[in-house]
Structure 1
Amino acid sequence: MENSFQRILIIKMRFHGDMLLTTPVISTLKRNYPDAKIDVLLYQDTIPILSENPDINALYGISNKGTGLKAKVSNFFSLVNQLRKNKYDLIVNLTDQRIIALFVRLLGARVSLSQDYAHRQSAFWKKSFTIFAPFQGEHCVERNLSTLAPLGLTDICYETTMSYKPEHWEHMRNELEKLGVKDKYVVIQPTARQLFKCWDNEKFAEVIDSLQQRGFQVVLTSGPGAEDLSCIDEIASLCKSRPVTELAGKTRFPELGALIDHALLFIGVDSAPGHIAAAVKTPVICLFGATDHIFWRPWTDNIIQFWAGNYQTMPPRSQLDRNKKYLSVIPPEDVIEATKKLLPQGDAK
């Protein structure tokens, strides 16, 4: 295999957490081709989570779902024109959208690698790439890295990366000081994009009460949407002593990374902040419901993971009820016990 690439494009179009799980591929390519410029093609909405990654030369955003057809077509051809000028000699594809096959054909890279998706076996798809790599590994990070196997690389990075600048932490530290938060705080993000990934608000309140009674301050975070903020408000109202909610919906991803990095512990459900915590090496307590808790777990050993399937049988994906809180079977007492294992001995008072 060619041992020198100067312009590399990585393609991954998924949600924020998925993008963080792609960073070991980016880091591995940078280690092995330190002089190469590495670009990433991703959804426009997910650009902020990778915006400070020093291994990335440029991020190119493709229109998400919900964009009008005319705008999508315009965005597609605009991107093709921009990317063709970069004259990539290597494309690494980690996504299965059909449109990507056309994209890769139009870019004309000398080498194009792709994961070998079982549901993408059409002649058009198969002829759009020069090399296919079979899936290997149980976790998403391992699967992503297996795409690079045909390159024969030996210096592999297995860590995820969440980057932020010193000024991001400086801003968050100032905000925490205004809110009276010291250095012994726990970050909890109870919200997720879909209800079936959520835990009961009253159970989160029990965990928060336990932490605050032991002297640990709790900072609640969330996305900026009305439903997320309503969830934060309800949880806070159920607590004996109100946790810090003023940062919910107000932190950009680099700032959220800085906030979680300096926390003693992160607690959350199956969503991007859990992957951020793993990347910045903050201890994690993560709650999973009827999703693949092995493939999608935060990529860290410093974790206690709760899977609803250990308490009650979970349905197969085809029978998933997206309006049901499968995590409800996880008792708050178990999560409270986990906090005692991962936090400093005794209390924080």
Structure 2
Amino acid sequence: MKKIKIKKILVIKFRFHGDMLLITPVISSLKANYPDAIIDVLGYEGSVEILRVNDDVDKIFAVKNKKASFSNKTLDYLKVVHELHKEKYNLVVNLSDQWLSGLMTRLISPSYSVAFEFQQRNQFLWRLFFHELVKPEGTHVVERNLSILNAFDFPVTVKNTKMGYHAFVWEGIKFRLGKEWDQQKYVVVQPTARQKFKYWDDEKFAEVIDYIQRVTHHKVIITCGPSEDDKRCVARIAELCKVKPVMTLAGNTTFDELAAVIDHAQFFIGVDSAPMHIAAAVDTPIICLFGATDHRAWHPWTEKFWMVWAGNYHPMPKRSEIDRSFKYLSYIPVEKVIDAVNSAVTAEKAG
């Protein structure tokens, strides 16, 4: 990268909530090497909210996602570009592969811009949007994201993901749960994800929850997203449980509240979803259930996890052949998840 004075940086990522968490090592590394620089983030409306409590980030800008109409999106994009152009960025770090990210970068007119060299993009046209392209490297998504820093003259200094919340948020959660939760040991279970092919069977989740509460004597708090589908799913799981889990927070937390709940849990159990990545970011041990997604690329970015992969019990399809209405995790035997629970409890007792 050419020598320029870095005062203002914009990081771009157009993806979902979990993807936004997985770019935080890039943001933290930029902040560590440019401590006086302002770092802003541009992402999709809603998804970018997961970075609201991050002291490395100054401003957050958002554009409407794919669900908005073409006219609404166009007007929104133009408005955001106008706002960003006034910021006069020295550097834009683009981690997205959408043409929109390239066009917006060009319209923002930064002093310098860096992006990945994506195979699925026409290299001549893609190169017109940026000053420098970098080949992505690594197996895990975090490793690939961090490889954008190969364009710079400094080593990667921060590799952990980051998720924050204020102390008063946890106090508010305890108030909602009741006074007895000051010393209560509990486990967070997140059965839902954005896509149904990542779901496990409700009956199996219920069996695991009963085992945790009956045998390990930990309470279970079920969490989920705010959608009606998510709420119906966890309500059915709770109905199937012989020992009822705590449902107070299901579908009823902000991202920072969810981070606080998971942070104080003994361990977390869930499918491939944003809350799983939150658990990794707050350093809570994880039991993760994976199916047809690439677990090598998307597993929790931590050493404290036990993975139960459906591919060990039945062949998983290629990405292009995934049936998004089919529950691939159904191949996972409940006994294997209970084995992972026992391992997590043993590790907890060992300190």
Query: TM-score when scaled to structure 2?
Result: 0.96
Structure 1 counterpart of 2:30: 29
Q: Amino acid of the residue matched to residue 220 of structure 2?
A: V
Structure 1 counterpart of 2:260: 258
Count of residue pairs the alignment pairs up:
347
Secondary structure of the structure 1 residue equivalent to 2:298: coil
2:221–2:245 Cα contact (<8 Å) kept: yes
Match for residue 231 of structure 2 among 229, 245, 250: 229
Displacement of 1:183? 2.5
Secondary structure of the structure 2 residue equivalent to 1:290: coil
Q: Amino acid of the residue matched to residue 89 of structure 2?
A: Y
Displacement of 1:152? 2.0
Structure 2 counterpart of 1:48: 49
Secondary structure of the structure 1 residue equivalent to 2:225: coil
- Structure number with higher helix proportion: 2
Structure 1 counterpart of 2:249: 247
Structure 2 counterpart of 1:134: 135
Displacement of 1:4? 3.6
Q: CA separation in 2, counterparts of 1:90 and 1:40?
A: 12
Q: Does residue 211 of structure 1 match 2:212?
A: yes
Structure 2 counterpart of 1:156: 157
Aligned-pair RMSD on alpha carbons?
1.5
2:5–2:90 Cα contact (<8 Å) kept: no
1:138–1:295 Cα contact (<8 Å) kept: yes
Displacement of 1:180? 5.9
1:101–1:124 Cα contact (<8 Å) kept: no
Displacement of 1:337? 1.2
Displacement of 1:66? 1.3
Displacement of 1:182? 4.5
Secondary structure of the structure 2 residue equivalent to 1:147: helix
Q: CA separation in 1, counterparts of 2:51 and 2:181?
A: 30
Displacement of 1:48? 2.0
Q: CA separation in 2, counterparts of 1:296 and 1:278?
A: 12
Distance 1:14 1:23, change over 3 A: same
Structure 2 counterpart of 1:74: 75
Match for residue 274 of structure 2 among 268, 272, 278: 272
Displacement of 1:344? 4.8
Spell out, residue by residue over 1:273-320, the C-alpha distance to the aligned partner (whole angstroms, 9 max, x if none): 000000000000000110100101110000001111111111111111
Distance 1:308 1:345, change over 3 A: closer
The unaligned stretches of length 5 or more in structure 2 are: none
Secondary structure of the structure 2 residue equivalent to 1:337: helix
Q: Please, which moves more after superposition, 96-105 or 300-309?
A: 96-105
Q: CA separation in 1, counterparts of 2:49 and 2:120?
A: 30
Q: CA separation in 1, counterparts of 2:108 and 2:283?
A: 37
Q: CA separation in 1, counterparts of 2:117 and 2:266?
A: 40
Q: Amino acid of the residue matched to residue 201 of structure 2?
A: D
Query: TM-score when scaled to structure 1?
Result: 0.96
Distance 1:11 1:345, change over 3 A: closer
Q: CA separation in 1, counterparts of 2:196 and 2:113?
A: 38
2:174–2:181 Cα contact (<8 Å) kept: no
Q: CA separation in 1, counterparts of 2:41 and 2:347?
A: 43
Q: Amino acid of the residue matched to residue 116 of structure 1?
A: E
Displacement of 1:245? 0.9
Structure 1 counterpart of 2:292: 290
**Superposed counterparts of 1:338-349, under 5 Å:** 338-344=340-346
Q: Please, which moves more after superposition, 119-128 or 234-243?
A: 119-128
Q: CA separation in 1, counterparts of 2:5 and 2:139?
A: 30
Secondary structure of the structure 2 residue equivalent to 1:343: helix
Structure 1 counterpart of 2:335: 333
Distance 1:181 1:288, change over 3 A: farther
Structure 2 counterpart of 1:322: 324
Q: Amino acid of the residue matched to residue 13 of structure 2?
A: K
